[in-house]
Amino acid sequence: MKKKNGNESKVVKTLLITIALLFFVCMLLFPLFLVFAKAFEKGAALYLASITDPMAGKAIKLTLLTIAIVVPINTVFGLAAAWAIAKFKFKGKNLLLTLIDLPFAISPVVAGLIFVLLFSTTHGLFASVLSEWGLKIIFAPPGIVLATLFVTLPFVARELIPLMEVQGTAEEEAALTLGASGFKTFLRITLPNIKWALLYGVMLTAARAAGEFGAVSVVSGHIRGLTNTMSLYVEILYNEYKFSAAFAVASLLTLIAIINLVIKNIADWKNKKIEEEL
């Protein structure tokens, strides 16, 4: 009976692994292969021409600029929020956690509309102030940065909070008792303990910032050469039936995603090792 049960469990295990691998190949590897196959369908010359086109260059620069602004800001916010929630008891902690999770609950399109209602120079809540100061946020790069900040806000904090809660405050309290300053305690004690979880959250933030479409589409206005990120530019090329060019630019987003995925998995593996040691 035991042998029979053992054989049945091996069959079930093999079946489940086979199904998972087939799903992985069909839903991930095969589509990735098709992106690059379509990108090079008409030759390397057209591929290079597509990704070096001036409009493509501006879309790439805007995407990289958005990532360069959004990632550091949300990293600092995530660190501060995680530190406060995990290390201190205070009134409003649950409310802060709810606010951090808000971008997960709200559709990116709705988030974009919220920023339009706030910062549009024609009918926004702050329209008079923006007009008086000559500031343009919606249909301009600042709107794209704000929308991306909103949708990527939770990632760093949500990766750090569980780990920091498990670690507790004993090591920090010991360092402070021995005379270390708060800043030195953070650099020497807290940061080394959370570095892999922090990297994991940063990579998630960068990946989402690079590929965000919904909120950015609403606030951008799709102005060529000014407010088109890479994801929006891919849509424009596809709608104009320039399929090879669209997939060429999409392949760059895919490469960014693959690099993020590799680094994220390394960080996740390291982070799990740290959690197991605690």
What pLDDT digit, counting tens, does each position of 20-64 carry?
Answer: 889 888 888 888 888 999 999 888 899 999 999 999 999 999 999
Q: What is the pTM of this model?
A: 0.86
d(CA 138, CA 116): 6
For 132-148, the pLDDT digits (tens) are: 898 899 999 999 999 99
d(CA 150, CA 136): 18
CA distances from residue 14 to 3, 21, 22, 23 in whole angstroms, order as listed: 16, 10, 12, 14
d(CA 249, CA 237): 9
Pick the CATH number of 42-277 from 1.10.3720.10, 3.40.50.300, 1.10.260.40, 2.60.40.10: 1.10.3720.10
Tell me phi and psi for residue 228, to 5 degrees.
-95, 115
**How much is the pLDDT for 71?**
96
